[in-house]
Amino acid sequence: MPAKKLYIAIFSVWIQVAIPGTGEAAVTFDELLRQTRQLRTEESQTAKEREAAFNNQLVRQQRLLDEASAARNRAEALSNSLSSRFDQNESRIAELKLLLEQHQGNLGELFGVTRQIAGDAANVLQQSQISVRFPALEGEEDRVAFLKRTAGAKALPSIRELERVWFELQREMTESGKVSRFPGGILQPDNSTRNAEIILIGPFTAVAGSDYLAYLPGEQILGGLSRQPIKKLKDAASRLTGAKSGNGYLPAIVDPARGALLGMYVERPDYIERIKTGHIVGYIIISVGILGVLVAVFQYFYLIIMRIKVASQLRDREHPNPGNPLGRLLLAANNKADAGKDSPEVAELRISEAVLREVPKLERFQSFLKLAVAAGPLLGLIGTVVGMIITFQTITASGASDPKLMAHGIGQAMIATVLGLGIAIPLLFINAGLASLSRGLLQVLDEYSSGILAQRLGFAKGVSSLNH
């Protein structure tokens, strides 16, 4: 760079000497030498400053290198120390595991039994409605979740965990023998919750007021049944809810299956629902049965009234009453079979005619009842066939013999059969009763017709002997 500046200065001097008249003083060689020396001094100073800066940077880098090397050496020493300690710890752990297995002895089998008991208890407590009384405290594990974790644990349970397993089992057994009352929430059909006073009969039955409740394990809350049982059972729940302590003993409903039997009981269809299962065939069968019962009741009343009137007529045969069969027979015999006017054969025919005139009224509706008795099972058989057809169609459509899919058709078949037999058997006995009553009245008419005829025959013979 000094040579470049020297050339520039000489070039400037040459320019100034070659072009006079510019008004500027010419640069001499002494001035140029002075400037050159000044530039060299500045260059030398700059070089020294840069060299000093480089030396300082070198010293600082060397110091950092020494510090990094020292840190590396310390880390290598620590690593070697930790590696040696790790190997020692691994060896110690292996020794302790062996020692633990030796000291554990039969405790391993004991812990296995504990895990098995915890698993069984978790399944029982998950379905137990007593769990609603003991929700998990804040920061504490739920008892069902705790037992499941204990049952699936690979490590040995601690003393605290063993104590809690024992505590949960003891608490469940103690509460199973109690009838407890406490305020709690009840899940509603719209997923809302209402607060009410709940009574638990151990893990078996839960009631609130007159309503029976079912335990929902998923939500860990009690909810109302889909529909409530009969009034008798609801009254028992109401009495239990209204009872006070010290009132002695009260009858209550206890479900040994912990709610399963009660749920199945309330889900049973009532008579109306069963009849609806039979569909149109069931309605026809019931219509025939109702009609048969109505005409049978009407005829029963008629026969009973006639029997009472006939009995009254028997006590007063001298005054025939046209309001009963026997009275009409006596009137016909007196009016149509006068002695001496008709032959015995004509008198017999007239009396038989009077008896036969009463037969249709006395045996009324018996033919229809016999027809209903015969038609009931046949109509039920039709319903059975229809139900089986529906069942086979369901199997064909689904491609599987799922009992739930087949239940509708089989239910319809069975209901139709039951309805058919249900009207045939009662109507059979009803018809037998009607036939017995009508035969009794007809026997009375036959007896008196025979007596009247014998009397007329005797009177005719007496008249004949007198004529001779």
CA atoms within 13 A on the CB side of 268: 10
In a 3-state reduction of DSSP, which class is residue 412?
Answer: helix
pLDDT at 22 over 50: no
User: In 107-188, at which residue ranges do the beta strands (DSSP E only) sit?
Assistant: 179-187
Question: What pLDDT is attached to residue 89?
Answer: 92
What mean pLDDT do residues 7-30 have? Answer: 50
Question: What pLDDT is attached to residue 20?
Answer: 44
The more confidently predicted of residues 219 and 20 is: 219
Considering the entire predicted model, what is its pTM?
Answer: 0.53
Percent over 70 (pLDDT), the chain: 84
pLDDT per residue over 350-381, tens digit each?
A: 777 777 887 888 888 888 888 888 888 888 88
Q: Where are the domains of the chain?
A: 2-83, 111-267, 277-467
What mean pLDDT do residues 389-399 have? Answer: 77
Kind of pairing between the strands at 221-224 and 179-187 = parallel
Angle formed at CA 57 by CA 54 and CA 59, multiple of 5 degrees: 110
pLDDT per residue over 220-249, tens digit each?
A: 888 888 788 888 888 888 888 888 776 677
| d(C-alpha 419, C-alpha 411), whole Å | 12
Residues 6+ apart with CB under 8 A from 354: 328, 329, 332, 333, 336, 449
- The pair of three-digit structure tokens given for residue 265, joined into one six-digit string: 């009981």
Burial of 313 (0-12, 13-18, 19+ CB in 10 A): buried
| d(C-alpha 215, C-alpha 259), whole Å | 8
pLDDT at 23 over 80: no
Interhelix angle 279-315/403-467, nearest 10 degrees: 20
Listed in sequence order, the DSSP H helices in 316-402 are: 325-336, 344-362, 366-398
Q: How many residues does the chain have?
A: 468
For residue 19, what pLDDT band results from cuts at 50, 70 and 90? Answer: very low
pLDDT per residue over 61-116, tens digit each?
A: 988 998 998 899 999 999 989 998 999 999 999 988 888 777 666 666 777 788 88
pLDDT at 134 over 60: yes
**Rounded to an integer, what is the distance from CA 464 to the centroid of its chain?**
94
